Structure 1
Amino acid sequence: MLEYARWKYVVALIVLLASALYALPNLYPQDAAVQITANRGFAVDDALDARVEGMLRDAGIAAKSVQKEGDSLLVRLDAADQLRAAELLRPALEQGYTVAQNLVSTVPDWLDAFGASPMRLGLDLQGGVHFLLQVDQKAALEKRENSYAEQIRVVLREQKIPSQEVTVRPTDILVRLSRAEDLSKALSVIAVDAPELQLQPLRGSAGPGFTASIAPAALDALLTETINQNVSILRNRINALGVAEPIVTRQGDSRIVVQLPGVQDTALAKRVIGATATLEYRAALLTNTDAVEAERSGRVPPEGRIYYMRERNPDGSRIPVVLAKRVIAAGDQLVAATSITDTETGTPGVSVTLNASAGQRMFDFTSQNVGKPMAVVYIERVPEVRIVDGKEVRGTKVTEEVISLASIRGVFSRNFQTTGLESPQEAQQLALLLRSGALAAPMEFAEERIIGPSLGAENIARGLESIAASFVLVLVFFVIYYRMFGVITNIALLLNLLMLVAVMSIIGATLSLPGLAGIALTVGLSVDANVLINERIREELRAGNTPLNAIATGYEKASGTIADANVTALLAGIALFVFGTGPVKGFALSLIIGILTSMYTAVSVSRGVATLIYGRRRKLAGLAI
């Protein structure tokens, strides 16, 4: 007997309504926009709004709207005017603002209230920037060798072995000892403390000592670790800074590919990728009039250096301060960093936790210098490209500012707070960059490409056209070949596609060209399932079974075969998702979701529709199949 439980109809209705609701935002196209964000010391206010509107009006560019959204000013435009508006505003505002092309949502507020949002689009559909970064492996090796040299100094000092010299050379570390009788002891303790080093005693008249070099196996591991650490840090930094679904992956032995969908401004993207910010804690040697005099005369203590406060005098002049060259603690020695608001002053800051060695140095310094000033230096490094004599010169812009200068009120070590930041947003970004850590090795931009939204729109149109064409052909074929059951199959296929889009929107999946291919493939798998069901029903009719029994038996017999076929495809999709990267993951995700939705619609929903049509007809002579 052909039956379908009422609760299943309720579930199917809920699924249909929910799918329609959460798939609906994808019908609202994004607006092309120019996003204007204030740099430090500048603000997004009514004056900027009026200035931008005036510039656009004078240039004959009609903006849909100019309004503040969040911390930025968004200028919504027609896609044809986006690039022209960005080129107009960028040079006029470059001193205090970052001007970037972007795409912004047009989804109505009532859909936002339900948490409904469109699918994110990948780089190939939405546009964005593509970078190829070259990692400086030589710098990574020098950094590790310096670390080993410091480790050797510490071990010799702890073991009370006097040394004359510990020098890092291009290929090894030279260690000279004061006494020849200490050589064997030094070699044995260092071999235990740093087993990855190859130790070779000095020969002849070179005196007592040895050379230390990194073993080949350890060197290969170091270079691999450097690339992987840079990839990990970049992923954490970009994800936390809010770039949707970036792709950061290793390419070859020394390169990293970074793709940022939706970002059209290379300067903004480079700031996200290459900028590093850190803190240094230094003793203040000269302040106030003494520092001003030292700056004027040039007579700076040999152990000191002139820095400048972030705050300026009322006349705009900079405030000098002389700080010790020796660093008490630095950002690369941080274990944790979180943004906070100081309860006493209400100013934003960062709560810092140092590692054990830096905590001990901080404890020793504060114990001996209570009441004396200590400064916090904010250091930011941003990659930049300059044109010199017609040639592109790549470098790094370094900004050093003293954000806090205060007397030490008590003894502290590992845990303390740093205040003096301009805004909560700056505190959050600094905490993020401190947590993500410094890159294991410096990088330079070997290649950069901008993919415009127009190319993405063309890709979307072609992809949707191919899916729509294949879908329409399938629907027409089913209606002609299976008649009424072709209509039932078409209903199941349409609901499958609706569910697939809704689920990908709900989970925030990124749709790319491979993802579109995965959707097309799942439509094909869903077709296969419906063909199996329809052919099973026809076999039962040819075997002389009654129409109602043929429908029930056809669905029951086909369900097992459909489950087996889809489970194997599902396992393949899971393997692709787990082991794949980038476009492969996008294809696998749409495939996995499509398989799950097609199994439900092909087996359950289509049977429910067939039961609605034929279930109450007891004297059914035949089927339109």
Structure 2
Amino acid sequence: MIQMSTWQRIVVVLTVLVGLTLAMPNGFYTTVERHNDAVAAMEGGAPATPELTADAAGWPGALPSSLVNLGLDLRGGAHLLAEVQVEDVYESRMDGYWLQVRDALRDARDTVGTIRRQPSAGDELKVKISNPAGMAEAVRLVRAIATPVVNLTGSFDNDIEVEGAGDILTVRLSEAEQLATNDRTMQQSLEIIRRRVDEVGTREPTIQRQGERRILIQVPGIGSATELKEIIGTTAKLTFHPVIGRTQNPNERTTGRQLLVPSIDPQEQGTFYILEQTPVVTGEDLADAQPAFDQNGFPAVTFRFNPSGGRAFGLFTAENVGAPFAIVLDNEVISAPVIREPILGGSGQISGNFTVPESTNLAVLLRAGALPAEMTFLEERTIGPELGQDSIDAGKIATVVAFIAVLIFMFLSYGTFGLFANVALIINIGLIFGLLSLIGATLTLPGIAGIVLTVGMAVDANVLVFERIREELKTSKGPARAIELGYEKALSAILDANITTFIVAVILFVMGSGPVRGFSITLGLGIMTSVFTALYVTRLMIVIWFERRRPKTIEV
């Protein structure tokens, strides 16, 4: 006798109800999206304006509010392919080594004589010693400051290579250290870009490394590629320097430990500041930065240092009351206030004729930190929302056509049992969207293709069951026994077919990227929901129908 226990029926019904409830917000996408944005804004400290309050109240808080995120090809947005100039980091590394080399040779002046740094390529450090006879000792001392680098084979290499020729000592990064530096630079760039993009509240950005030094950035919902470049395309290197003087001469001569930096203040057009090269504090010492307004009501940025930066800044301002100091952003002086009193609280304010969007973006950049190296944008595209809407419309048409064709085929082929399969197919689509919403997946155009494929595959299991039931009816078995055997004997074929397809979906997800992953996610989820609806949902409907009708014969 075909039957299902009470607990099995309850589990199936509850699973279907939960899945359809999770999918329901996608039927009111715009309303729920506004609700989510308003709630997130107010939780982030935004004032509860009437517009935000109305949007937050537009969807009941007791209902699920998770949505299927739309990818770049559906929502529109910006696409960038950037190349990180990792060589920029080598020069700063050499500057750091110069201090160590100087200290190592200073105690051996009797042997090597005086030392002086020489002009050199960015990835090298050249030091001239006055006593060439002491070159061997100089090489030995500098090699002693090298540190080991573990490579992929597990062996150890030094981070620097040292050689001497005549009176010139040359220090350069070893190949192992260059590879390690490149990897660290790329990882840091990825993390900083991700933080900057997340700060502006975009949905499901794609930020991933491609090759050795390239980064792919795709951000749905952003206005243009230019806007995205403004957010991530600057290094946002913030430093605070003592001011030595000012000049109108762009060719003013300075010493080796001084900088000549232009001012971007419109009231100081053509003015250049002479600054000490070594900054008092840098943007790395910032703990927080927020957009604000100054005492005159103009947009500004307030900042707060971490404890070590706050102590250094407080000590400097206490010793230099009445003297100016320069706030330098990306090699431009944005403000040069006079220290009127010690700033001991570890916080301050940057003002420089900003607009509100500029102050907001600057705060985002400062919070995220400085990019370790410059980026060159090799490819940029802006995908308008109308193109995304065209993709959605095309996907809808394809899904509806496939859906209707399958429904008609199943009804004409299997009659009442085909209607059961059609109801299960509708539930199956709802469960797919419920799972996508639950895991926060991103739906792309290839993902829609995966759903269309799932529509065709979803009834495959039902076809196997129904055909098996037909075969059992031909052996003069009763309808109840034929249905029972149909599900039992078709089970192995259903599991074999779907498990192998699911393995392919997993391989596509692991080995693929971007659109391929979008396809594999919907395909994999569709396989799971298809097996569930075919084996349990249709069976439950047939059991309930059979218990009420008690037919003596059935036609499949």
- Partner of residue 547, structure 2: 615
Deviation of 1:226 after TM superposition, in Å, equals 3.8
Alignment pair present for 1:264 and 2:223: yes
- Partner of residue 166, structure 1: 117
CA distance in 2, matches of 1:18, 1:364: 61
Q: What is the aligned counterpart of 1:470 among 402, 407, 422?
A: 402
Give runs of aligned pairs for residues 103-252 of structure 1, distance below 5 A: 109-110=58-59, 114-116=63-65, 118-157=67-106, 163-170=114-121, 172-180=124-132, 182-194=134-146, 195-203=158-166, 207=167, 209-223=168-182, 225-252=184-211
Quick one: structure 1 residues 568 and 409, their matched pair in 2 at CA, closer, same or farther if it must change by over 3 Å? Answer: same
- Partner of residue 491, structure 1: 423
- Say which is worse superposed, 589-598 or 550-559, in terms of deviation: 550-559
Quick one: structure 1 residues 24 and 280, their matched pair in 2 at CA, closer, same or farther if it must change by over 3 Å? Answer: same
* Normalised TM-score (structure 1): 0.68
CA distance in 2, matches of 1:2, 1:589: 35
- Partner of residue 2, structure 1: 2
- Partner of residue 379, structure 1: 329
* Contact 1:332 1:438 survives alignment (8 Å): yes
Quick one: structure 1 residues 534 and 234, their matched pair in 2 at CA, closer, same or farther if it must change by over 3 Å? Answer: same
Deviation of 1:164 after TM superposition, in Å, equals 1.8
* Contact 2:288 2:305 survives alignment (8 Å): yes
- Partner of residue 456, structure 2: 524
CA distance in 1, matches of 2:374, 2:504: 39
* Contact 2:204 2:219 survives alignment (8 Å): yes
* Contact 1:337 1:434 survives alignment (8 Å): no
> What whole-Å deviation, never above 9, does each CA across 1:373-432 have from its counterpart, x for those lacking one?
675726268xxxxxxxxxxxxxxxx5723589453365x9xxx44456799999986665
- Partner of residue 407, structure 1: 341
Q: What is the aligned counterpart of 2:306 among 349, 353, 365?
A: 353
Give runs of aligned pairs for residues 20-35 of structure 1, distance below 5 A: 20-28=20-28
User: What amino acid does structure 1 have at the position aligned with 2:117?
Assistant: V
Deviation of 1:438 after TM superposition, in Å, equals 2.2
Task: Give the secondary structure class of the aligned counterpart of 1:213.
Answer: strand
Deviation of 1:455 after TM superposition, in Å, equals 2.0
* Contact 1:28 1:107 survives alignment (8 Å): no
CA distance in 1, matches of 2:93, 2:486: 69
- Say which is worse superposed, 162-171 or 462-471, in terms of deviation: 162-171
- Partner of residue 440, structure 1: 372
User: What amino acid does structure 1 have at the position aligned with 2:447?
Assistant: G
- Partner of residue 472, structure 2: 540
Deviation of 1:118 after TM superposition, in Å, equals 4.2
Deviation of 1:613 after TM superposition, in Å, equals 0.6
Quick one: structure 1 residues 157 and 579, their matched pair in 2 at CA, closer, same or farther if it must change by over 3 Å? Answer: farther
Task: Give the secondary structure class of the aligned counterpart of 2:440.
Answer: coil
Quick one: structure 1 residues 211 and 30, their matched pair in 2 at CA, closer, same or farther if it must change by over 3 Å? Answer: same
Task: Give the secondary structure class of the aligned counterpart of 1:577.
Answer: helix
* Contact 1:250 1:256 survives alignment (8 Å): yes
RMSD (Å), alpha carbons? 4.5
CA distance in 1, matches of 2:324, 2:216: 41
Task: Give the secondary structure class of the aligned counterpart of 2:80.
Answer: strand
Give runs of aligned pairs for residues 549-564 of structure 1, distance below 5 A: 549-564=481-496
CA distance in 2, matches of 1:432, 1:6: 56
- Where structure 1 has 5 or more consecutive residues not aligned to the other structure, the ranges are 34-66, 71-104, 382-397
CA distance in 1, matches of 2:421, 2:10: 20
User: What amino acid does structure 2 have at the position aligned with 1:215?
Assistant: S
* Contact 1:235 1:248 survives alignment (8 Å): yes
Deviation of 1:9 after TM superposition, in Å, equals 4.0
User: What amino acid does structure 1 have at the position aligned with 2:390?
Assistant: E
User: What amino acid does structure 1 have at the position aligned with 2:216?
Assistant: V
User: What amino acid does structure 2 have at the position aligned with 1:177?
Assistant: I
Quick one: structure 1 residues 490 and 322, their matched pair in 2 at CA, closer, same or farther if it must change by over 3 Å? Answer: same
Quick one: structure 1 residues 257 and 467, their matched pair in 2 at CA, closer, same or farther if it must change by over 3 Å? Answer: same
Task: Give the secondary structure class of the aligned counterpart of 1:110.
Answer: coil
Deviation of 1:129 after TM superposition, in Å, equals 2.2
* Normalised TM-score (structure 2): 0.76
Quick one: structure 1 residues 572 and 373, their matched pair in 2 at CA, closer, same or farther if it must change by over 3 Å? Answer: farther
User: What amino acid does structure 2 have at the position aligned with 1:592?
Assistant: G
Task: Give the secondary structure class of the aligned counterpart of 2:79.
Answer: strand
Quick one: structure 1 residues 535 and 23, their matched pair in 2 at CA, closer, same or farther if it must change by over 3 Å? Answer: same
* Contact 1:548 1:615 survives alignment (8 Å): no
Deviation of 1:217 after TM superposition, in Å, equals 4.7
CA distance in 1, matches of 2:439, 2:108: 58
CA distance in 2, matches of 1:533, 1:27: 32
Deviation of 1:469 after TM superposition, in Å, equals 1.6
CA distance in 2, matches of 1:333, 1:155: 27
* Contact 1:173 1:211 survives alignment (8 Å): yes
User: What amino acid does structure 1 have at the position aligned with 2:174?
Assistant: A
Deviation of 1:496 after TM superposition, in Å, equals 0.7
Query: Which structure's residues are more often strand, by fraction?
Result: 1
> What whole-Å deviation, never above 9, does each CA across 1:30-81 have from its counterpart, x for those lacking one?
69x9xxxxxxxxxxxxxxxxxxxxxxxxxxxxxxxxx9967xxxxxxxxxxx
Quick one: structure 1 residues 373 and 606, their matched pair in 2 at CA, closer, same or farther if it must change by over 3 Å? Answer: farther
- Partner of residue 58, structure 1: none
Deviation of 1:202 after TM superposition, in Å, equals 0.9
Matched positions, count? 513
- Where structure 2 has 5 or more consecutive residues not aligned to the other structure, the ranges are 35-48, 147-157
Alignment pair present for 1:596 and 2:555: no
* Contact 1:338 1:428 survives alignment (8 Å): no
Task: Give the secondary structure class of the aligned counterpart of 1:277.
Answer: coil
Task: Give the secondary structure class of the aligned counterpart of 1:166.
Answer: strand
- Partner of residue 288, structure 2: 338
Quick one: structure 1 residues 279 and 550, their matched pair in 2 at CA, closer, same or farther if it must change by over 3 Å? Answer: same
- Partner of residue 319, structure 2: 369
- Partner of residue 93, structure 1: none
Quick one: structure 1 residues 576 and 484, their matched pair in 2 at CA, closer, same or farther if it must change by over 3 Å? Answer: same
CA distance in 2, matches of 1:515, 1:133: 26
User: What amino acid does structure 1 have at the position aligned with 2:23?
Assistant: A
* Contact 2:327 2:333 survives alignment (8 Å): no
Quick one: structure 1 residues 276 and 555, their matched pair in 2 at CA, closer, same or farther if it must change by over 3 Å? Answer: same
CA distance in 2, matches of 1:261, 1:158: 58
